[in-house]
């Protein structure tokens, strides 16, 4: 057993957590010309490396761990993990070993024991650790100076607490991954989330999670006992979710010293801390989770049973053969304070492979040493002896012949360069890439070592970022965290912002959105969060609504539309439109959500919307004109009645329903000046047949008939006829164009009547070019003309063998009266003219009816009502 004899310069600085031991060691090292410090964790080594680098500069400070090596050429100060530091101190002026009490750990203890015994500085050596280490240091290093450091703050027991009542800046400590996840999920629901720290996380991920807590993004952290080792956190309280853990061989209760190591994270510098347990975390027997009085006293007073031994293993075994190597590693120490270390995984792998055929290739001291180095590869994946031994065996196949090829290593690293997957998947990849990072750091294992090491570090950093993102996504609801802090403040101080796209955010976290002026909670919010989000939004809503109303009136009027009888914005109603009978001064009923707006802003918005609406109602000017005339007493009751009928029909009424028989002819010029057209089949206001007017009537809900937005001349037949159209066979035609076609037909008949006035029903010819040019098919044009009383007589076809043009069709016209029996509706499936027994009833007035088939000369669907040809041509 090696043991340094330079004990006169050794100082053991011992004490509980928060005593400034590490800070003292850093100051002492920086006061020497060179130095080396060994730490239990890579992340702690990195933290101290950054602090010393800030003091001494980048070129003077090195970081050496199993997976990372930053070693400037002129480096004088070295921050290392205990495993990576020189076991003798490297000849530096100052050497320190932190957390030396880990020498009592069954797995890694022998490393720290070796450094405590052998790592020495030329000028000064510091052993940092718990006060329980004092009797062992006195026995192992006689003459060492003992320095006891008191804790800067007090640590007191706070009893049990529900997770939902946990005070801010608290840590919850659990001892299994499942329990860590469960606690973090619960804190996400109750308090908006928590950072997560576990030993299985990569150092980079742990640092990012710790930063999440330290910068205040979350007020809680859930961790395993890894929190008790070197993590300096701004904690006020530590809550234990369990007081027992599985130590690799059995489940046991934590010792008071282990409890204190974890609880001591609460309270930093001069600020006092508390510790306690979580309510409901008891044992399976139902016993509550509580500290004993003895444990509370020990933790508060920092009084623990001293360590009785440290674990030791031969640090310089013989490499003559595998058998000699194993024998030395299993040898017993020769000091009463030391115990042989339990079989660690590196020794277990060595013994497993020593019985494998692969051991036959290990001959000579050089290969034995190299084989032992391969077996010492840490089991970052935590897969156990057998799987890890298989990995080492595969690795040895290449190492036994020289180096690992760069292509092979690059391919293995590339396989892990994937950031998809869940938390467990990413943790597995990080553990695997840490193995390759360790391999690439070995000086004689990999070709292109520096390049491969850089690649491995880059992939680990990428995976760590992805894992941090997954942990944050799963366990942190940043929005809830912010609101928990903000809702207790004055409403005007709540930092709710309205984004251009309508989102409401609190410190860039969405809490909902404004659909129009309605606040809608973020759909991703849980049921527990909805009440809080509504409260947050409603506190700031009046001011935000006023702000949005100003923007709408100045820049957003182009986004408004009229639909469903209301003014709408982004498909949400802002105000219902109530149109009076005169269509002149509409009234608005604002949506309920707008009532939350301040009175002045609401009145301004209503005024602006009315002004916008008046401009939009301009296409209804003809309707207002008709309404104004309908209220004029001088117009006469008959004309006013027709105007009211036309207004109620929204500009189009069938002639037979217009009541023209009651209208004095001298009133027609007055109505024509108002834009009223008296057609053969319809009476209509021509300006109300324009697309803008029809669209507006439909949007206002004043005309619920189907809408033909473009008001095309001719459209296909439909079950429901759009406003402004009438049937024409299998097509529909706009009423003004139907009137144009019929007027041309009457003009052709008038010319024929003038030349053959002696005939009662003179024949004449009609050119169907006009209806065809409008878009009607010839058959449908004939059906339209038939609706107005026109009948076609087909020209005689040429006899077989005859030559010349075919005889043209001829037309006749006779008016149809409402009482004409030929215009009575006929039901296709009715037994027309049959009595009870199906016999024809010949006693009805007019005698038996003659059955005749309806041809293409019959009316389309409705007949006209005429007062005479002169009336038609005059109307």
* pLDDT tens string 280-323: 655 555 556 889 999 999 888 888 888 899 999 999 999 999 99
Cα–Cα distance, 248 to 770 (Å, whole number): 99
* pLDDT value of position 864: 40
| Distances in whole angstroms, Cα of residue 151 to Cα of each of 22, 170, 266, 270, 738 | 13, 20, 12, 9, 102
Mean pLDDT of the chain: 82
Per-residue model confidence (pLDDT) at position 3: 55
* CB hemisphere CA count around 709 (13 angstroms): 1
Q: Residue 448 pLDDT > 60, yes or no?
A: yes
**DSSP 8-state symbol, 834:** B
Rounded distance, CA 337 to CA 349, Å? Answer: 28
Calpha distance 528→515 (Å, rounded):
22
DSSP state for residue 484 in the 8-state scheme: H
pLDDT at 110 over 90: yes
Determine the pLDDT at residue 189: 75
**pLDDT score for 563:** 92
With cut-offs at 50, 70 and 90, classify the pLDDT of residue 823.
very low
The kind and range of the H/E element at 77 are strand 77-81
Render 756-769 in DSSP notation, one character per residue. Answer: -TTSSS--B---TH
Strand partners, 572: 569
Q: Output the pLDDT for position 324.
A: 92
DSSP string of 792-810, one letter each residue? EEPPPPPPTT--SPPPPPE
Lowest-confidence pick of 195-209, 257-271, 373-387, 528-542: 528-542
Backbone dihedral region for residue 210 (phi beyond 0: left; psi -120 to 50: alpha; all else: beta)? alpha
**pLDDT number for residue 381:** 83
DSSP state at residue 822: G
Buried b vs exposed e over 652-667: b needs ≥16 C-beta within 10 Å? bbbbbebebeebeeee
Q: How many Å apart are CA 94 and CA 125, to the nearest integer?
A: 6
Higher pLDDT, 295 or 486: 295
Residues 6+ apart with CB under 8 A from 169: 219, 220, 234, 235, 236, 237
Residue 440 scores a pLDDT above 60: yes
Residue 828 has pLDDT above 70, yes or no: no
Q: Give 543 or 125, the one with higher predicted confidence.
A: 125
Per the model's pLDDT, the better-predicted residue between 21 and 482 turns out to be 21
Among 638, 625, 643, 634, residue whose Cα is nearest residue 582 = 625
Average pLDDT estimate for 29-50: 90
856 C-beta neighbours (distance < 10 Å), count: 14
Average pLDDT (343-350) is 91
Q: Which of 588, 649, 651 is nearest to 614 (CA)?
A: 588
Task: Give me the pLDDT at residue 785, please.
Answer: 92
Please tell me the distance from the alpha carbon of residue 124 to that of residue 147, in angstroms, as a whole number.
14
Please determine, for residue 865, whether its predicted confidence score (pLDDT) is greater than 50. Answer: no
Residues of the chain above pLDDT 70, percent: 85
Is 861 a residue whose pLDDT tops 50? no
**How does residue 759 score in pLDDT terms, banded at 50, 70 and 90?**
low
Query: What are the pLDDT digits (tens) for 795-806?
Result: 777 777 777 777
Determine the straight-line distance between the first and last CA of the chain, rounded to whole angstroms: 127
Residue 80, pLDDT above cutoff 90: yes
pLDDT for 279 beyond 70:
yes
Q: Which are the contacts of 304, defined by CB distance < 8 A and separation ≥ 6? A: 130, 131, 132, 255, 256, 257, 260, 298
Residue 862 is predicted with a pLDDT of 39
Specify the pTM. 0.59
Q: State residue 351 phi and psi, 5-degree precision.
A: -65, -35
- CB neighbours of residue 67 within 10 Å: 24
Q: Is the pLDDT of residue 514 over 80?
A: no
| DSSP class per residue in 124-163 | EEEEEE-GGGHHHHHHHSTTPEEEE---SS-EEEEEEE-G
SS3 274: strand
CA distances from 670 to 631, 661, 676 (A): 14, 17, 9
On the question of pLDDT at 421 being above 70, the answer is yes
> Picking from 1-10, 121-130, 467-476, 710-719, which range would have the lowest pLDDT averaged per residue?
1-10
Region 659-672: mean pLDDT is 87
Residue 467: pLDDT band by 50, 70, 90 thresholds?
Answer: confident
DSSP calls for 538-591: HHHHHHHHHHHHHHHHHH-GGGEEEETTEEEETTEEEEEEE--TTSSS-EEEE-
Mean pLDDT of 22-32: 93
Question: Which residue, chain included where needed, has tokens 């029903």?
Answer: 761
| Cα–Cα dist 394/237, whole Å | 48
**Residue 831: is its pLDDT beyond 80?**
no
- The pLDDT assigned to 349 comes to 92
The 8-class DSSP code of residue 770 comes to H
CA dihedral (379, 384, 387, 393) in degrees, to 10, reads: 50
The mean pLDDT of 592-599, rounded to a whole number, is 85
What is the rounded average pLDDT of the residues 58-62? 94
64: three-class secondary structure by DSSP: strand
Contacts 24+ apart (CB under 8 A), 484-490: 484/191, 484/192, 484/219, 484/532, 486/536, 487/532, 487/535, 487/536, 487/539
Please count the CA atoms within 13 angstroms of the CA of 82 that sit on its side-chain side.
24
Model pLDDT, residue 863 = 39
Q: Which of 695, 664, 680 is nearest to 733 (CA)?
A: 680
Under the banding of pLDDT at 50, 70 and 90, the label for residue 827 is very low
pLDDT of residue 152 exceeding 60, the answer is yes
Q: How high is the pLDDT of residue 840?
A: 42
Determine the pLDDT at residue 34. 94
Q: What percent of the chain has pLDDT over 90?
A: 35
């Amino acid at each position: 057993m090696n043991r340094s004899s330079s004990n006169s310069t050794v100082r053991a600085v011992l004490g509980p957590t928060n005593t400034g031991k590490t800070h003292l060691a850093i100051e002492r090292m920086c006061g020497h010309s060179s130095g080396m410090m060994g730490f239990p964790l890579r992340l702690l080594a990195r933290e101290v490396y950054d602090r010393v680098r800030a003091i001494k500069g980048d070129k003077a400070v090195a970081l050496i761990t199993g997976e990372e090596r930053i070693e400037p050429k002129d480096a004088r100060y070295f921050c290392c993990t205990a495993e990576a530091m020189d076991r003798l101190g490297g000849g530096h002026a100052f050497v320190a070993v932190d957390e030396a009490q880990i020498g009592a750990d069954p797995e890694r203890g022998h490393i720290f024991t070796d450094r405590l015994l052998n790592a020495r500085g030329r000028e000064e050596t510091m052993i940092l650790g718990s006060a329980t280490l004092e009797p062992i240091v006195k026995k192992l290093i006689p003459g060492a100076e003992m320095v006891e450091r008191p804790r800067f703050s007090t640590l007191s027991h706070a009893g049990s607490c529900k997770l939902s009542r946990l005070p801010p800046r608290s840590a919850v400590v659990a001892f299994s991954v499942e329990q860590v996840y469960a606690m973090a999920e619960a804190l996400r629901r109750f308090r908006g989330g928590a950072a997560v720290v576990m030993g299985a996380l990569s150092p980079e991920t742990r640092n990012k999670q710790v930063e999440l807590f330290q910068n205040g993004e979350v007020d809680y952290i859930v961790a395993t006992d890894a929190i008790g080792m070197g993590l300096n956190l701004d904690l006020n309280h530590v809550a234990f979710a369990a007081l027992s853990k599985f130590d690799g061989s059995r489940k046991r209760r934590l010792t008071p010293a282990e409890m204190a190591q974890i609880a001591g994270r609460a309270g930093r510098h001069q600020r006092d801390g508390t510790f306690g347990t979580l309510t409901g975390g008891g044992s399976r027997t139902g016993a509550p989770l509580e500290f004993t009085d003895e444990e509370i006293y020990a933790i508060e007073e920092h009084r623990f049973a001293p360590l009785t031994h440290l674990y030791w293993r031969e640090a310089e075994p013989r490499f003559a053969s595998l058998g000699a190597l194993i024998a030395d590693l299993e040898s017993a120490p020769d000091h009463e304070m030391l115990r042989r270390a339990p079989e660690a995984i590196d020794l277990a792998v060595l013994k497993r492979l020593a019985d494998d055929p692969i051991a036959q290739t290990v001959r000579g001291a050089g290969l034995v040493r190299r084989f032992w180095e391969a077996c010492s590869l840490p089991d970052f994946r935590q897969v156990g002896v057998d799987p890890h031994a298989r990995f080492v065996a595969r690795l040895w196949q290449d190492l036994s012949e020289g180096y690992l090829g760069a292509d092979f290593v690059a391919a293995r690293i590339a396989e892990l360069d994937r950031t998809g997957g869940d938390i467990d998947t990413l943790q597995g990849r990080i553990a695997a890439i840490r193995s390759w990072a360790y391999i690439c750091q070995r000086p004689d294992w990999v070709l292109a070592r520096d390049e491969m090491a850089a690649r491995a570090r880059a992939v680990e950093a990428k995976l760590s970022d992805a894992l941090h993102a997954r942990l944050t996504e799963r366990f942190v609801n940043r929005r809830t965290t912010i609101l928990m802090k903000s809702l207790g403040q004055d409403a005007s101080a709540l930092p709710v912002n309205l984004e251009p796209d309508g989102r409401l955010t609190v410190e860039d976290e969405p809490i909902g959105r404004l659909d129009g002026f309605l606040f809608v909670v973020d759909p991703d919010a849980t049921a527990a969060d909805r009440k809080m989000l509504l409260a947050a939004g409603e506190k700031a809503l009046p001011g935000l609504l006023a702000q949005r109303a100003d923007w709408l009136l100045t820049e957003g009027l182009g986004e408004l539309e009229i639909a469903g009888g209301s003014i709408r914005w982004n498909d949400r109603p802002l105000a219902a439109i109530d149109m009076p009978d005169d269509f002149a001064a509409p009234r608005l009923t604002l949506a309920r959500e707008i009532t939350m707006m301040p009175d002045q802003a609401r009145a301004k918005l209503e005024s602006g919307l009315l002004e916008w609406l008046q401009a939009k109602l301009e296409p209804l000017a003809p309707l207002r004109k008709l309404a104004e005339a309908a209220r004029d007493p001088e117009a006469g009751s008959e004309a006013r009645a027709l105007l009211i009928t036309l207004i109620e029909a929204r500009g189009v009424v069938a002639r037979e329903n217009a009541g023209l028989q009651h209208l004095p002819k001298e009133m027609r010029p007055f109505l024509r000046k108002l834009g009223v057209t008296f057609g053969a089949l319809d009476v209509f206001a021509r300006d109300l047949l324009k697309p803008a007017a029809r669209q507006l009537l439909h949007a206002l809900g004043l005309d619920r008939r189907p809408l033909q937005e473009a008001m095309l001349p001719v459209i296909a037949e439909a079950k429901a006829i759009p406003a402004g159209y009438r049937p024409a066979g299998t097509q529909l035609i706009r009423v003004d164009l139907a009137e144009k076609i019929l007027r041309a037909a009457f003009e052709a008949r008038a010319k024929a009547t003038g030349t053959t006035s002696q005939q009662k029903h003179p024949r004449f010819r009609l050119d169907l070019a006009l209806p065809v040019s409008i878009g009607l098919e010839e058959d449908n044009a004939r059906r339209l003309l038939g609706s107005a009383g026109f009948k076609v007589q087909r020209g005689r076809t040429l006899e077989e063998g005859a030559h010349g043009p075919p005889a043209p069709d001829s037309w006749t016209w006779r008016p149809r009266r409402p009482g004409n029996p030929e215009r009575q509706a006929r039901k296709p499936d009715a037994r027309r003219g049959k009595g009870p027994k199906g016999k024809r009833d010949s006693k009805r007035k007019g005698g038996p009816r003659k059955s005749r088939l309806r041809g293409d000369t019959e009316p389309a669907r409705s007949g006209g009502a005429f007062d005479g040809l002169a009336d038609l041509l005059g109307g």
